[in-house]
Structure 1
Amino acid sequence: MFDLDGTLVSSLAAIERHTVRWARRVGARPDEVLARSHGRRDTEFIPLVAPWADAEEEFRWLHRLSVEDTEGIAPLPGVRGLLAALDADRWAIVTSAAREVALSRLAAAGLPRPVHLVCAEDVERGKPDPEGFLRGAALLGVPPGSCLAVEDSAAGVAAARAAGARVLGVGEAARPPDRGAHLADVVVRPGPDGALRVSTARSGTRSVAR
């Protein structure tokens, strides 16, 4: 189960551009908004950082900007090859982005639309709540403990662990010595028992997911 932004696609510059523009629109501090929004759904962080604003109106404004402005969005290193190596029904995306936003970013990055996709509208509680990863495991038809979650944010890692999934952190969520690593450093090999063995170039075998 993959997170989307910062895990599969390089979208940080676009997200920060949108978030800063929105923060200035509502009179919030951009640095505070950026710090508290990473990995969270727009519907949850908007009232958190701007309780004086009309949350529904601001969500619609930010949502439309996120869908339409995809400048700079690209696949992260190693992503195309890794997804191509996986059977389409054996992986899922679990993202805090709205479905329209997620599909827009996947298209901009030239990545395949997944068979299994869990977005902001599909859960009542976003990350760090485990609901999204529990739903992703259910779509895959396996227990959460048999899944590997790949995440780049603290909220996402917390959500995956709470769901009972094994976790591989990338980017800032990776533990030393893998800090800053992305999926170019990850290799997936099928085992004789039908499990997928996941290893990193720097740390050796890390996790197994059936």
Structure 2
Amino acid sequence: MAQTHHFDAILFDMDGTLVDSTAGVVGAWQLFAETYAGINVEEILSSAHGVRTVENLRNHCGITDTVELEREAERFEAAIVSSANKDGRSGIVKLPGVDAIMKDLQPGAKVPKPVWAICTSATRSYAKAALSAAGIVPPDIFVASEDVTQGKPAPDPYLLGAEKCGVDPTRCLVVEDAPAGIRSGKAAGAKVLGLLTTHTKDQVDDASPDFVVKNLSSVTMKISPDGGVDVTIST
């Protein structure tokens, strides 16, 4: 069954929503386990996704100094890219359905307001590297970790994304794969589409998204002639 809904703007998460960087994230945590004793990579992977790198390093590595946190966050995110690109191939790739949606969201004519944005828990430098590796052109509106005081699950990233798009957050669709990000979108007052790309259905359902699909291959997005985006979700 397919249902179509109209939204003023679409606010995408990045990792696990648009791109798959799993191999790189695992490699980065394995590298940090050599520096910080007691890290259990498997346990971290089950809870760290969707949370800002600085907060993960504070929680799991015990780093409290602000300068050290920022320096280690840069090292961690650089390790994601290098770990994912072993053997001369890019391990950061577009997820299913993303390519078609990205093409459809490029307006053929100027629209009154931006109709989509990326709101990520990653730093801007890593996010740009990851998008480049996956072959995705960043949108004009881009909210990164350093742009907000509080990261997901606080609503700040999605509230800022909606503000930059010049729209009411309650008229936005947030697209997320992580429970923390789903809760962030809900707290911002947006409708949320949950993807089953990195978490189980039970984990995603527990965060109470409005819609759930396996991945974006079940979704189409078309820019409306009068602005905004018509989203068709097949379940």
Give 2:44's aligned residue: 33
Give how far 1:35 is off.
2.4
Give how far 1:98 is off.
0.5
* Residue 111 (1) aligns with residue 122 (2): no
Give 1:207's aligned residue: none
In the aligned structure 2, how far is the partner of 1:107 from the partner of 1:58? 22
**What's the C-alpha RMSD, in Å, of the aligned pairs?**
2.4
Work out which of the residue numbers 24, 34, 58 in structure 1 matches 2:72: 58
Report Cα offsets for 1:37-60 as digits up to 9, x if no partner. Answer: 111111111111122676525324
Give 2:4's aligned residue: none
In the aligned structure 2, how far is the partner of 1:77 from the partner of 1:52? 36
Q: Which runs of 5+ in 1 are unaligned?
A: 203-210
Report Cα offsets for 1:111-150 as digits up to 9, x if no partner. Answer: 1121111001111111101100000000110010010000
* Residue correspondence of structure 1 range 130-149 to structure 2 within 5 A: 130-149=155-174
- Structure 1 69/16 Cα, relative in aligned 2: closer, same or farther at 3 Å? closer
Query: Is the 8 Å Cα contact of residues 36 and 45 (structure 1) preserved in structure 2?
Result: no
- Structure 1 87/25 Cα, relative in aligned 2: closer, same or farther at 3 Å? same
* Letter aligned with residue 72 of structure 2: E
Give 2:3's aligned residue: none
In the aligned structure 2, how far is the partner of 1:185 from the partner of 1:201? 5
Give how far 1:13 is off.
1.8
Query: Is the 8 Å Cα contact of residues 20 and 30 (structure 1) preserved in structure 2?
Result: yes
SS in 1 for 2:34: helix
Counting matched residue pairs gives 201
TM-score (norm 1): 0.85
* Residue 76 (1) aligns with residue 95 (2): yes
Higher relative contact order (CA 8 A, sep 6+): 2
Work out which of the residue numbers 23, 31, 35 in structure 2 matches 1:21: 31
In the aligned structure 2, how far is the partner of 1:197 from the partner of 1:182? 18
In the aligned structure 2, how far is the partner of 1:159 from the partner of 1:73? 24
Give the % identical residues: 37
SS in 1 for 2:137: coil
Query: Is the 8 Å Cα contact of residues 23 and 33 (structure 1) preserved in structure 2?
Result: no
* Letter aligned with residue 21 of structure 1: L
